[in-house]
Amino acid sequence: MDSREEPGAASAAAGEDEEEAEAEKGPASSDSDSDNEAGASGETEMDFLRNLLSRTLGLGSEKPEKVLDELTLDGVSRFMLSERCKKVVCMVGAGISTAAGIPDFRSPGTGLYANLQQYNLPYPEAIFEISYFKQHPEPFFALARELYPGQFKPTVCHYFMRLLKEKGMLLRCYTQNIDTLERVAGLDQDDLVEAHGTFFTSHCIHSGCKKAYTLEWMKEKIFSSLIPKCEKCQSVVKPDIVFFGENLPSRFFSLMQSDFRNVDLLIIMGTSLQVQPFASLVSRVPTNTPRLLINKEKTGESDPFMSLMGYGCGMDFDSEKAYRDVAWLGDCDEGCLALAELLGWKTELEELVEKEHAAIDAKSGGASASHPLTKEQKEKPSPKKEKPPDSKE
């Protein structure tokens, strides 16, 4: 399933990525998560406030330096091919999985929340609220049956990150998705921070039990139209995806400290950057680190109020002060193909997609959804400028 940036578990899969729930309702915006974030860094309360004000007001000794020769996709590609770019962090949301057939959260008419009437919910987000799930697990598992991991193939975006890994450039992928497609594409657990959890493992929800279960065990129960019950205590078993009302994984808070201090390039794909604290990661990179957004619309731009709260993204694409942020607007797969072509990787990427999709078909007997590269995608040259589409991610 695909974690659309919603509840942290809400990838329509059930896998931030184009997708999400109101920040104030999600687990990320809770006071406890803010405390976890501060505590994980080992900062004292005064240090945390000092650093927060420094980032918010632009104070400190680090002076912005323009490291891109131009604020375009071409400029980013030249930087990636230079000796200065060795560590890349990717931040991804539901938008990178829509090409696989998994809906995002909020697109009018096609988004997950627009198509939940059949479950008779009090409101759409209830299907991913832990309190509602404990009382009424049936709607979630009915949806899970439709959008279960293993029925979809990774997209061009997923395999572009695989190429980054193979070329020794991928420091980490931070994903809001729970569809497990990053793993299917060849990223290992060490390569990933599944910020909103994953369908890969499951646990009994009883606090005194917490027995673990595998993906295959959960799949068997779901496709038997059974509510998964713990074999030990008979409580409901829930996939390890983050529902509204639950904390994010500790791995998110521990790794972000080192990863975002040491990154040379941040690539953000298929996310509206509306769910916290995931969205705030954008502001954690050094002031000299370039940031590339590949998305259907510009997002993550400065919001003074959210900055004061410590959640500002601070992206600046168009002002006179812009010096490091680049937005490529359009379909995420096409954006990755355009960047791959500029890097000289396009043929390699296309061949990787075709080979891996063929392997998945052979293993599954062709049962999984197939979304091969179209002739137009293969032949389309790198666009110099993209106009933003009418619909959101």
360 is in an annotated binding site: no
Task: Go through 135-150 and write b for each residue having 16 or more CB atoms within 10 A of its CB, e for each that does not.
Answer: ebbebbbebbeebbbb
332 is in an annotated binding site: yes
- Kindly give the pairing relationship between strand 265-269 and strand 291-295: parallel
CB atoms inside a 10 Å sphere around CB 254 = 14
2 is in an annotated binding site: no
Q: Which helix (H) or strand (E) holds 326?
A: strand 325-329
Torsion of CA 51, 24, 3, 256, to 10 degrees: 10
Residue 31: helix, strand or coil by DSSP? helix
**203 annotated active-site:** no
173 is in an annotated binding site: no
162 is in an annotated binding site: no
d(CA 275, CA 257): 19
297 is in an annotated binding site: yes
Helices (H), the chain: 31-40, 45-57, 73-80, 130-135, 138-146, 156-166, 181-184, 215-222, 250-259, 304-308, 332-343, 346-364, 375-379
336 is in an annotated binding site: no
| Catalytic residue (one of 196, 206, 357, 371) | 196
268 is in an annotated binding site: no
98 is in an annotated binding site: yes
105 is in an annotated binding site: yes
168 is in an annotated binding site: no
296 is in an annotated binding site: yes
CB atoms inside a 10 Å sphere around CB 114 = 14
Q: Binding site for Zn(2+): what residues are annotated? A: 204, 209, 230, 233
Q: Binding site: what residues are annotated? A: 94-98, 104-106, 176-179, 204, 209, 230, 233, 271-272, 295-297, 332
Q: Binding site for NAD(+): what residues are annotated? A: 94-98, 104-106, 176-179, 271-272, 295-297, 332
Which positions are catalytic?
196
